[in-house]
Structure 1
């Protein structure tokens, strides 16, 4: 067993749909054991395979109070009942939590690490965790379920009205006001602070290489490093 790197948004693998596992073999069991160790080391309740870079429908869960975690291969949610609002977090969005709606009761099935069929009727945190992790396998993050812009905040805090938070990303734009090819003076460069929503962000490969689509914010980006104003900046 070994610890694996947990992928953090906006790593594009988090938006990819995981493939069905054809056979529960030693390779799948090895992945699942690594996931259990990684999840426990990070203090998580659940982990999906794409969160550690593997596009397979494998989930691990370790509910509070339980002696050990469990492995779920090809988990499916068959039915849900009721609805409640819950606070939710994610190892791929560290340090933040949001208010989302989840089912009160979830009926699910999966294969265990031996390939045996398991069926459960889950409630409370178990039901919530099942929905959260199956979402991951389908490329869905819990922030996609936010009904209101303000319902995501730094863990344990309340967001003041008008303050940027994780649903916004703060960006700093350097806008040149000269039209020739000469190097602009300091007075010809305006620094503009703005915020971009998740819907205006995309990533090509990793957090370090992520780019921003600024067109909806009123800017055009010809490259990662050059940003030019398209509209009035005031």
Structure 2
């Protein structure tokens, strides 16, 4: 397992649609393990493959709750409901935070590291984190959804 370099905006890969994962092998498992280590090292709650320079539909989320680490290959949003507005940041935009409105609830379908299909329902902050990472896989950055940018003081308050 290794810490990968985080790709910073304005790198082109951050605004591209990623390719679907087709091979579920040891190489993929290593990428997932590296992504987890990288996310933890940089104190993130999610990380998408383009953020480490890979053009693949891979994302992980871990908001440090009972859900544990969620690994998603080729995720698809099946359903959303409700609305929430809250602060977001991104490892590819260090020190930048903004208020973003997203659905309160999301239901997704994805593949795990072995290529098995699963569905997952999430609400509140977990839904926000999952939707943020799925956006990355479609080349959508949180900065395109910011209602208002936040200062460090507003985040801490």
TM-score (norm 1): 0.63
Work out which of the residue numbers 142, 153, 156 in structure 2 matches 1:156: 153
Structure 1 unaligned spans of 5+: 159-234
In 1, the alpha carbon distance for the partners of 2:38 and 2:121 equals 26
Larger radius of gyration: 1
Matches within 5 A, 1:117-136: 117-136=117-136
Following TM superposition, by how much is the alpha carbon of 1:32 offset from its aligned partner in structure 2, in angstroms? 1.0
Summarize deviations over 1:139-184 as a string: whole Å, max 9, x none: 111110124xxx11343348xxxxxxxxxxxxxxxxxxxxxxxxxx
* Equivalent residues, number: 155
In 2, the alpha carbon distance for the partners of 1:4 and 1:53 equals 9
Following TM superposition, by how much is the alpha carbon of 1:70 offset from its aligned partner in structure 2, in angstroms? 2.6
- Cα distance change, pair 10–33 in 1 and its aligned pair in 2 (3 A): same
What SS does structure 2 have at the residue aligned with 1:56? coil
In 1, the alpha carbon distance for the partners of 2:132 and 2:109 equals 15
Summarize deviations over 1:29-79 as a string: whole Å, max 9, x none: 111111011001111000000000000000011112348523111111111
In 1, the alpha carbon distance for the partners of 2:14 and 2:91 equals 12
Contact 2:99 2:150 in 1 (8 A): no
Q: 2:103 aligns to what?
A: 103
Q: 1:49 aligns to what?
A: 49
Q: 1:10 aligns to what?
A: 10
In 1, the alpha carbon distance for the partners of 2:88 and 2:110 equals 23
Structure number with higher helix proportion: 2
Deviates more, 1:131-140 or 1:7-16: 7-16
Contact 2:89 2:97 in 1 (8 A): yes
Higher RCO, 1 or 2 (CA under 8 Å, sep at least 6)? 2
TM-score (norm 2): 0.92
Following TM superposition, by how much is the alpha carbon of 1:86 offset from its aligned partner in structure 2, in angstroms? 1.1
In 2, the alpha carbon distance for the partners of 1:96 and 1:155 equals 9
Deviates more, 1:66-75 or 1:33-42: 66-75
